[in-house]
Amino acid sequence: MDLPEGYQDLFDDASRAFLVLSTVRGSGEPVVAPLWFVTDDEGLLFTTGMTAAKTRDLRARPGVAGIVMAEGEHERYVSVRGRAVELGGPEAVTVDADAVHRRIVRRYEGHDPAEPLDGTVFRLVPLRVTGYDYRDLPG
C-alpha cells in the first residue's frame, strides 16, 4: 500500500494508531467508529462481528472513508478513501483470518488473543490516501 511520505509510523504494528471508519447505514445515516487495524500490501485489515451492523453495512455499501491517527494526536492524520472488501472469517481461503486477528490483538494489547476470531475480516482497499499535518500552524 502506498503511503504519503512521513506517515509510515501510523501504520507500523508498533504504533497504536486507530482507523476511524465512516460507513453508511441502510437509512442513509452515516456512522463513524474507531477500529483496531493492521496493514498488508493491499490495504488496511480489520475485523468485525459476523452479524454486526457494520458488517451488514459494509456488505451492502462498501464505499468507505476514514482517518488513521495516533492516540492523542489529532493534528496529524492520514485520510483514506476506498472500498471495503470482505475477506472472510475463520473459513476464509483468501486470508488467514485468525492470523489477522492475532496481529491486531498483539498490536493493541501486546499478547495473543484468548479466543479465536468470531467474526470476519475486511480489507479497506484505498483509492485515495492523503496525509495532513497541522501541528505547526499558528494558533
φ, ψ of residue 71 in degrees (nearest 5):
-55, 125
For residue 34, is it within any domain?
Answer: yes
Query: Domain holding 57: CATH number?
Result: 2.30.110.10
For residue 3, is it within any domain?
Answer: no
For residue 86, is it within any domain?
Answer: yes
Q: Pull the grid cell for residue 48.
A: 468485525
Nearest Cα residue to 69 out of 23, 9, 2, 124: 9
For residue 112, is it within any domain?
Answer: yes
For residue 139, is it within any domain?
Answer: no
**Gap between the Cα atoms of 33 and 29, Å rounded:** 13
For residue 138, is it within any domain?
Answer: no
Q: Which domain holds residue 122?
A: 8-133
Q: How many domains does the structure of the chain reveal?
A: 1
Residue 20, number of CB atoms within 10 A of its CB: 16
Going residue by residue through the chain, which has 139 residues, state the pLDDT in tens, using 9 for 90 and above.
889 999 999 999 999 999 999 999 999 999 999 999 999 999 999 999 989 999 999 999 999 999 999 988 889 999 999 999 999 866 666 788 889 999 999 999 999 998 888 889 999 999 999 999 998 877 6
For residue 129, is it within any domain?
Answer: yes
For residue 1, is it within any domain?
Answer: no
Nearest Cα residue to 118 out of 20, 52, 29, 35: 52
What DSSP string describes 71-116?
TT-TTEEEEEEEEEEEEESTT-SSS-HHHHHHHHHHHHHSS--SS-
Contact 17, 69 (CB under 8 A): yes
Full-model pTM: 0.92
Contact 6, 131 (CB under 8 A): yes
